[in-house]
């Protein structure tokens, strides 16, 4: 069980602070049940999110520590890009990764779509709207969690992650090895 002031990651709300643990005075709430009142750190609207302490359906976990965030950023070169040419299968894979609620999965989505987007731009093509949607969602979740862990602004985290992806892309291009960004 989490404690008040703990940072947690909750579903698509991303990084949240536990504000209150207790019963809710709402008609839809079970009076005998304990709830977390969560405050998302980076949602534009000031809102509270309520979830039962014993909720097994919605993914909630402890937020990454500073050490875990640094380690994840160091793993960027070793994180494989993945690409599924069929758009429906690709979207299914993205949904599955998003449901796991893990930083490494969000990083994979960001890396894959970023590299693929660069390739498509070089070919005079645009990214698909589905790829843009999952890229933005993965960015919001990952950069928010890492920003909280590293005590940085989300833009600084984004710059750090994208710079490491670009460095890897440049090294691959200079080595003239096989295209790691799987052909469509």
Per residue, what are the HEC states of the chain?
A: CCCCCCEEEEHHHEEEEEEEEECCCCCCCCCCCCEEEEEECCCCCCCCEEEECCCCCCCEEECCCHHHHHHHHHCHHHCCCCCCCCHHHHHHHHHHHHHHCCHHHHHHHHHHHHHHHHHHHHCCCCCCHHHHHHHHHHHHHHHHHHHHHHCCCHHHHHHHHHHHHHHHHHHHHHHCCCCCCCCC
pLDDT at 32: 84
pTM of the predicted model as reported, rounded to 2 decimal places: 0.88
pLDDT at 31: 81
- 10-residue stretch averages of pLDDT, the chain, 184 residues long: 96 93 84 92 85 88 98 94 88 93 96 92 92 96 97 97 88 58 46
pLDDT at 83: 81
pLDDT at 26: 84
Q: Supply φ then ψ for residue 10, to 5 degrees.
A: -125, 110
pLDDT at 182: 45
Query: What average pLDDT is seen over the chain?
Result: 90
């Amino acid at each position: 069980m989490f404690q008040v002031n703990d940072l947690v990651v909750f579903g698509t709300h991303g990084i949240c602070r536990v504000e209150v643990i207790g019963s809710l005075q709402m008609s839809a709430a079970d009076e005998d049940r304990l709830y977390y009142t969560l405050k998302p750190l980076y949602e534009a609207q000031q809102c509270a999110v309520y979830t039962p302490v014993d909720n097994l359906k919605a993914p909630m976990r402890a937020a990454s520590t500073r050490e875990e965030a640094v380690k994840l950023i160091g793993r960027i070169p070793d994180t494989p890009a993945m690409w599924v040419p069929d758009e429906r299968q690709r979207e299914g894979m993205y949904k599955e990764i998003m449901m796991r609620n893990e930083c490494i999965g969000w990083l994979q989505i960001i890396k894959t779509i970023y590299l693929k987007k660069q390739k498509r731009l070089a070919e005079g093509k645009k990214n698909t709207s589905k790829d843009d949607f999952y890229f933005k969602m993965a960015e919001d979740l990952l950069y928010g969690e890492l920003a909280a862990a590293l005590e940085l602004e989300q833009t600084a985290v984004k710059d750090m992650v994208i710079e490491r992806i670009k460095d890897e892309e440049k090294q691959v291009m200079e080595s003239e090895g096989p295209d790691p960004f799987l052909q469509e």
